[in-house]
A and B are shown apart, each in its own frame.
Chain A
Amino acid sequence: MQPVIESNKGLIRGISAKIKGVSRYVMNDIKENKVSYLLVMPYWIIFFVFTILPVLVAIVLSFTYYNMLEPPQWVGLHNYLQLFLDDDVFLIAIKNTFVFALVTGPISFFACLLLAWMINELKPKIRAFLTLLFYAPALTGQGYFIWRIMFDGSAYGYVNGILLYWGIITEPIQFFQDPKYIMPVSILCVLWSSLGTSFLSFIGGLQGIDKSLYEAGAVDGIRNRWQELWYITLPQIVPHMMFGAIMTITQSFAAADQLIQLAGFPSTDYAARTIVSHLMDYGNIRFEMGYASAIAVVLFAFMVITQRVVQKYLSKLRD
């Protein structure tokens, strides 16, 4: 036994020496770059407390039962098992979220890209006007409000009124109650207001491309605008597309507010139930915080995985 203990002691001594070495290294770095740390920290501490810490807390809570009255109880993987094995509504929510994200995400991303590209060649005044027009719905964040009036379920709703008047339908369609219409109308409304930060980023990126690249490209045998787009323009704005992809993925996976505003909460037959509204149901109404946190963690995992996949494909475009 003696030698084992001896070697353990040696190991511990080694580790503690290493820790001391590392901490001295860290302290030295902090001392040397005191000003840098001083400048970063006021922002970063606030950022950490209100953005990173909540995610860490959510991860821990997701392994507990917590109703905010009693202290959290450790339940292991129970919440996750229940989510995927027992909770039929959650499966509906996952399906809706994916349908929603797979439709709105790519369409919104390419709409941002295409419109930004088309606007880019126009005269500055027209460009400024169209940028404002396309960005206005996202800027104001009041979209659902207008769409509710337009697609109102009564004969006075604008769309219903017109369809009735033209004799296309005989009675008003309940756009926001009929499960057949909830998703399509909501998707349309969300797409309408989805030209946000990514759109601006693309416009900025396109403006920043060096014009001489196009002349050089023409010399090298590029014959039309589509080749130019593919071989010169897109590779130049890959970084902007990476950024735009993050913003779009987050936006389309986290859809809930607009759907709740449009279709009500809870919606008919859970037709507009998404992962986020499922989370809000458990978090804000049933106060099952552990379970709600597990939902949040699952959502976050989906977003990160999607983002990694998209990033991989986008970086291929660069070559």
Chain B
Amino acid sequence: MKLKFRIRRNRLNRSVGGDLFLFIILAVGAVFTAIPLVFMISQAFKPLNELWLYPPQFFVRNPTFKNFVDLFVLMGESWVPMTRYFFNTLLLVVLGTAGHIILASMAAYPLAKHEFLFKPFLFQTVVLSLMFTYQVTAIPNYLIMAKIGWVDTYAALIIPTWGMSLGLFLMRQFIVAMIPDELLEAARVDGANELTIFWRIVMPIVKPAWLTLMILSVQQLWRETGSRFIYSEKLKTLPYALTQIIWGGIARAGVGAAVGLVLMIVPILIFVVNQSKVVETMSTSGLD
């Protein structure tokens, strides 16, 4: 015990004063971040009379599931069954994510490990495009979708996700750093072709990176309202339907908070499960 204590005190270049100072900054940051989150959770469990209490209370006093029950009832009343919206979003998330992971990994492997004439061009355009936001490209994107005839179909939401640039960038950097050339060389000597190498050697090693790509694309698709391209009611997504409920008036403040919580919980759970993999992937995310 004593030894451990001594080691702690003698950490390289660390002072108690500095520790305290940083602890205070960290605590302030953590509280500032936590307040709205806790407020939101607390709000979702407040009964109606507590929502309109004066002065407003931060914490819920008599927690209730009524808001969630109401949400469920409201969902049941909607013209298109809620399960339909849920299925739509599920379809988007699954197809979008799977396609993105497969296509981005396929492309990342040669961009990381092969030499060919157009490689710098093909990769640098992706790096440059990290600076494009969807608002900048929204109008031409719509025109292109209209031209291909994908407006009001799921292709308009799913296919562009497959080509997201951040995913490819992270995957490529991870492959560069994590897969030694000797390994690939050894496989080639053994007579494996590039497709086999990609599927049997590269893919299993870069698992942390595809879990990261999964989070990024789930995060985006799970909150996709689809309002840019989708007009048919039965093709609308869960976030769209839920946001409609929030706008349903002041009496739905509690239900609104419940909706917010439902939309938050899925990406958070996925992130919690894969956090260490994400950090591992991000350790190679530097841009040289």
Contact = CB atoms under 8 A, between A and B. Distances in A.
B165 A214 contact: no
A1 interface: no
A118 interface: yes
Given A36-B114, A224-B18, A247-B130, A43 B104 contact: yes
Contacts of B109: 39
Contacts of A319: none
A287 B30 CA distance: 44
B55 A162 contact: yes
A194 B126 CA distance: 23
A139 interface: yes
Given A53-B140, A131-B275, A223-B13, A43 B56 contact: no
Contacts of B115: 33
A31 to B, nearest CB: 11
Nearest to A158: B56
Chain B at the A interface: mostly helix, strand, loop or mixed?
A: helix
Nearest to B167: A43
A280 B256 CA distance: 27
Interface stretch (A8-16, A55-63, A82-90): A55-63
A218 B104 CA distance: 42
Interface stretch (B63-71, B75-83, B85-93, B276-284): B276-284
A139 B268 contact: yes
B279 A204 contact: yes
B137 A40 contact: no
Given A29-B116, A43-B103, A139-B268, A204 B284 contact: yes
Contacts of B162: 43, 46
A141 to B, nearest CB: 5
A74 interface: no
A296 B198 CA distance: 39
Contacts of B36: 137, 143, 146-147, 150, 192
26 contacts: A25-B117, A33-B114, A33-B115, A43-B162, A46-B162, A49-B163, A54-B139, A55-B132, A55-B136, A57-B143, A128-B275, A130-B30, A136-B264, A141-B223, A149-B39, A158-B56, A161-B56, A192-B33, A195-B33, A204-B278, A204-B283, A208-B283, A240-B287, A246-B287, A293-B139, A293-B140
Interface stretch (A98-106, A179-187, A300-308): A300-308
A77 B130 CA distance: 28
Chain B CB within 10 Å, residue with most, of A61, A132, A243: A243
Contacts of A58: 136-137, 139-140
Interface in B129-174: 129-133, 135-141, 143-144, 159-160, 162-166, 168
B139 A50 contact: no
Contact of B56 (A40, A162, A242): A162
A52 B131 contact: no
Interface string A123-159: 0000010111111110111110111011000011110
A208 B22 CA distance: 22
Contact of A200 (B58, B116, B278): B278
Contact of A225 (B13, B37, B130, B193): B13
Contacts of B104: 43
B192 interface: no
Interface residues of B, number: 92
Which size bracket describes the interface of A in this complex? 35 or more
A155 B53 CA distance: 10
A309 interface: no
A239 B282 CA distance: 11
B230 interface: no
Contacts of B284: 204, 208
A204 to B, nearest CB: 3
Contacts of B143: 57, 289
Interface string B23-39: 00110011011101101
A140 B132 contact: no
Contacts of A246: 130-131, 287
Contacts of B268: 132, 136, 139-140
For the complex of A and B, the 7 pairs showing the least CB-CB separation, nearest first, are A239-B286, A204-B282, A46-B163, A43-B107, A47-B163, A57-B140, A54-B137
B54 interface: yes
Given A44-B122, A47-B126, A296-B139, A228 B286 contact: no
Nearest to A274: B135
B37 to A, nearest CB: 6
A152 B15 CA distance: 44
Contacts of A203: 279, 282
A242 B136 contact: no
A300 B283 contact: no
A250 B52 CA distance: 39
Interface string A189-209: 000100101001101110110
B47 interface: no
Nearest to B18: A225
B12 interface: yes
Nearest to A224: B13
Nearest to B288: A239
A278 to B, nearest CB: 11
Contacts of B141: 50, 54
A235 interface: no
Nearest to A128: B275
A51 B13 CA distance: 48
A82 to B, nearest CB: 17
Nearest to A239: B286
Contacts of A205: 282-283, 285-286
A36 B286 CA distance: 24
